Amino acid sequence: MLGTVSAAHAADMPDLPILRGSFTDGLTRSAVNWQGSYIGAQAGYGSSDENFNGSTSNMMAALLADTLIESSMGVSQWNLGLGKASQRTTGYGAFVGYNAQWDDVVMGIEVSWLHGKFGGMTSASERRVSATALADGNFHDVTATSTSSISISDIGTFRGRAAYAWGCFLPYMFGGLALGNADIIRTVNVQDRVSPTQFGIYTPLAPLSSTDAQHSHLIYGYTAGVGVDVNLVGGLFMRAEYEYIRFAAQVDTSINTVRAGLGYKF
């Protein structure tokens, strides 16, 4: 009789989810559907780091080609030390993309745009007096000046994304192509003064100068970074992200930004 009662009680027990395995499935599978198209707005803060070394050397050599001071004093080979510069700024923009989801794995493509004022400028000058009279019989007092600047107003990146859905969170990493709209201005100037004696009065000659200004110039490079999307309600999500961009141009430029965004998945 006791065995009959025990069997009947076991038969009447509710079919708990933990006995079916659905509880563990709920821990490993995302309840959020990330698949589909999405769009959003973003704002960011970052730094741009420029390496100006060598950015004007070819201009100086072209300016002084076939001149006496170039052949005798090698002005274009002087180390003007343009060096590096850094600038911090804010920006704003938008993003649009598409996700494909397989269980917890999410892959996607995305286009991101950021508008700001990234870049910097630097200048350097060096002066030398010839130790002996040159071929024209004069001593030369030469001052060479070089200036270089870059300003990047718009940045667009085309990314491939790989993500893993974990509850309402979607951590991801990305990489791809970067394009920028830049103004690049480089200027070189040489002032030569001559005197028949080393310690005499030097008379200035006509200055030599050259400017290369490229406005709305397209520059390109690559991008990489990490981030996380967080589902809020329905298709609404927020985003936090770090992005690194490297541009290859006359001025070598690296940009690091942190961003926050708000988007909607359709």
> How many Cα neighbours within 13 Å face the side chain of 241?
27
In-domain check, residue 72: yes
CATH of the domain at 162: 2.40.160.20
Domain region containing 190: 35-265
227, 172 Cβ separation under 8 angstroms: yes
Q: Is residue 26 part of a domain?
A: no
The answer to whether residue 7 sits within a structural domain is no
* Residue 24: predicted pLDDT: 38
pLDDT at 227 over 80: yes
Torsion of the alpha carbons at 175, 177, 179 and 185, rounded to the nearest 10: 90
User: What confidence score (pLDDT) does residue 169 get?
Assistant: 97
Task: For the chain, give the number of residues.
Answer: 266
Q: Which helix (H) or strand (E) holds 118?
A: strand 105-129
Backbone φ and ψ of 76, nearest 5°? -65, -15
50-71 pLDDT, tens digit per residue, is: 999 888 888 999 999 999 999 9
Is 3 contained in some domain?
Answer: no
3-state SS track over 119-142: EEEEEEEEEEECCCCCCCCCEEEE
What integer pLDDT is reported at residue 73 of this predicted model? Answer: 95
Mean pLDDT of 36-53: 95
Q: Is the pLDDT of residue 138 over 90?
A: yes
Evaluate if residue 6 carries a pLDDT over 80.
no
DSSP string over 202-249: PEE---EEEEEEEEEEEEEEEEEEEEEEEEEETTEEEEEEEEEEEEES
In a domain? residue 210: yes
Answer for the pair 77, 142: CB distance below 8 angstroms, yes or no: no
In a domain, residue 134? The reply is yes
Lowest mean pLDDT among 22-26, 42-46, 152-156, 239-243: 22-26
Average pLDDT value for residue range 177-190:
96
In a domain, 154, yes or no: yes
Which is nearest to 179 in space by CA: 253, 88, 98?
253
Q: Which two tokens stand for residue 257?
A: 């930004």
d(CA 179, CA 208): 35
What mean pLDDT value characterizes the chain?
89
Question: Which amino acid, one-letter code, is at 233?
Answer: V
Average pLDDT value for residue range 104-117? 97
The pLDDT of residue 14 is above 70: no
pLDDT of residue 224: 98
Contact, 84 vs 52, CB < 8 A? yes
Q: What is the mean pLDDT of residues 90-104?
A: 96
Burial class (CB in 10 A: 0-12, 13-18, 19+), 230: middle
pTM comes to 0.81
Q: Could you read off the pLDDT of 230-264 as tens digits, one per residue?
A: 999 999 999 999 999 999 888 899 999 999 999 99
Number of domains in the chain: 1
Residue 19 lies in a domain: no
Provide the residue type at 48 as one letter. Answer: S
- Is residue 44 scored above 60 in pLDDT? yes
